[in-house]
Structure 1
Amino acid sequence: MAKPLALTLGEPAGIGPDITIQAWLRRDELKLPAFYLLGDRDFLGSRAKALGLKVKLADVRAEDALATFAEALPVVATGHPATARPGQPDNTSADAAMASIRQAVGDVIAGRASAVVTNPIAKSVLYRAGFRHPGHTEFLAELAASGGHTPQPVMMLWSPALVVVPVTIHLSLRDAIERLSTDLIVTTARIAVAALKARFGLACPRLAVSGLNPHAGEDGSLGTEDQRIVAPAIEILRGYGIEIRGPLPADTMFHDAARKTYDCAICMYHDQALIPVKTLAFEEAVNVTLGLPFIRTSPDHGTAFDIAGTGRADPSSLIAALRLAARMAATPPA
């Protein structure tokens, strides 16, 4: 039997509530998969009123969300009310956001939902409340930990135009270079390949690996990391039977002709991966966390405090995240 998607509230003062309501209102037009929001019905009702949108909300249990979705937006209470006004996080924001994430993960692990879809969080708000993780990805890995083992999460940015995986994620550029290692590249690429095979239907994924330095180091004249760290990883991955090329100059990897030669780009640091995908597919890109024991997708944008509550937020990336989560859930791992 199909199960609904568990959608988190995200930062209450951001556009997460706005795009959730907009997505549900277009459920029939777009034939969206069923989802429920983990949050506060009164808060969501207030946001709908501020947006001038008529939406029927229903307090439900996760188990009843599927039957409710066609007639009302199902809301599963977390017990952590939100009171923030659009664009103005308050002292309820962090608790409401984190409780929603925790409960969504719990629902998927317990089999009440098929996947987690997360609305954007405001890390600065969470940090002030004692949040100790660099971002969503690392928090999800901790929640997924069992038996003393914490999975290694891998971030994938998926879009119809480009799929990228950064090896290092939420680190300063200096720290990313220090953290980069042959082992980390190999592990990240193998997790990406496994997901591309199991969840995206690619029998033999083709990888392109960027160099760290300009022109992939120019034979060592612009830095030796590509020769010492990246190239050995590529040879190891070839030994596993993976179709892979690199290290390649990052500045020539993302034009139309180049993108046709690979299925996924493995990049060395955050911006090297995210700038091209957000440039090519800002409204369609989806953040996918690989390496977890459950499916997680997210819109590839932030909280947009400046337009929260105005009706100008575009739900396209959330809609893409919901669709991709449903597609992945419908393709069980081999």
Structure 2
Amino acid sequence: MRTLAVIKDITERRQSEDKLRAADQRLRAFMDNSAVCGWMKDEDGRYVFLSQNHQRHFGVTFDDWQGKTDFELWPLEIAEQFRTNDRAVLTSGRAVEVLEETRSADGKQAWWLCHKFPYEDENGNRFVGGLGVDLTAHKRIEEALRESERRLSLVMQGANVGLFDWVLDGDQVHFSREWKSQLGYDDSEIGNRFEEWQSRVHPNDLEPTLAKVRKFLAQPWPEYEVEFRMRHKNGTWRWILTRASLIQDSAGKPVRMIGIHLDITARKEIEESLRESEERLRLANEAANIGTYFSEFEFDRSRYSPEL
């Protein structure tokens, strides 16, 4: 009887296997303790992996989801959204980053930023992996800001108040839609440059107004206010009242000037009409040699014209 034995050194293979197991353990430890949710589906959309954080976040276990598709787990519109994005990954063979709407564990609307990528195992089976970050809180803040801006815009429109935001390190100025409409322009007709304002200020008002701006930037005071004329799109001049304040950096250096424009043309016209009426009355009194006086009984004092 003879025995034939073959001895093969598999040390290297065992070492490779040990390294793979260690790498797999590190990956699972990372996924299980990360704030990121991870999952993987096969080519038909069936779940084959869920990270521990994914299970905790949605209040499920892998056994609940294993082998199921999104159409068995989510409302139809959400499942269709997921499947469309998964197919795009499988078709293109490239990773994609998408914002997906879903539902939280308590059924509330939620938004996730998802990085989806293709994967193929050694047997040629194709999968779609995913990593997701919950952006629901950020989206709600964005929506609250948009709603706040919408309400502010309605107030500004109703009050005919124009806003501006000037970044002082350069010539960039954001002019609101209302700011532009005060001068007869659509939003797209005026850019976001300082020159847009400067070129429309009345020549007689420009230098005094700029001098006051420079003084305010050098030595700010609580209530900045200035009046000047600006050219309307139709060629007329509109009187503008500006009020503004400064935003300073940590060193106290002004970095932005934010303020409002109020169209006070009607007020100026009334003031001018009153001055003209008073002047006409004065001239008439002088011509007729008629004296006038005004008494303020509350303060026991009177004023008399020169004719008296």
TM-score (norm 1): 0.21
TM-score (norm 2): 0.22
Q: Which has the larger radius of gyration?
A: 2
Bigger proportion of residues as strand: 2
